[in-house]
Amino acid sequence: MTGANGPAIARIWRGRVPAARADEYEAYLHEHGIKPLIEKAMGVQSLREDREGETEFVTISYWESVEAMSRFAGNEPARIHHLERDPEFLIELPTSVQILQIRTAHGRTGDGRG
């Protein structure tokens, strides 16, 4: 199990948008969702999968503990905190996030692109 010097918790959010609005939503998500996480989490990854007709975004944030994550996300860290324009973009509003314990981590996960 990781911890001490590295993240112990991964918080995973998923959302789908119509393909025609994917680039617009990606810019919005970065500005209003990812940037605040960069300031608070130990690390953040933003992933995108383009499919026929829709695009799925996945945001993974890394935390040293559930307590640290709760300081950012509130008393219910699995509760969704929708961005103001999410109802305009998302095909359906997610009802929860996934919170996983990081048991092992190996290798390099970043390429310096920030």
Q: Report domain extents, the chain.
A: 9-101
CA distances to 62, 72, 97 from 6, rounded to whole Å, are: 9, 18, 21
Say what the pLDDT of residue 114 is. 45
Alpha-carbon distance of 28 to 105, in angstroms, equals 30
Say what the pLDDT of residue 71 is. 78
Is the pLDDT assigned to residue 98 strictly greater than 60? yes
Question: What mean pLDDT comes out for the span 3-16?
Answer: 85
Q: How far is CA 14 from the centre of its chain?
A: 7
Is the pLDDT assigned to residue 107 strictly greater than 50? yes
Say what the pLDDT of residue 12 is. 95
Question: What mean pLDDT comes out for the span 8-25?
Answer: 96
CATH number listed for the domain at residues 9-101: 3.30.70.100
CB 57 within 8 A of CB 15: yes
What φ, ψ does residue 66 adopt, rounded to 5°? -65, -35
pLDDT digit string (tens) for 31-87?
A: 999 999 999 999 999 999 999 999 999 999 999 988 888 877 777 777 788 999 999
β-bridge partners, 81? none
Say what the pLDDT of residue 110 is. 54
Locate 40 and state its tokens: 């608070």
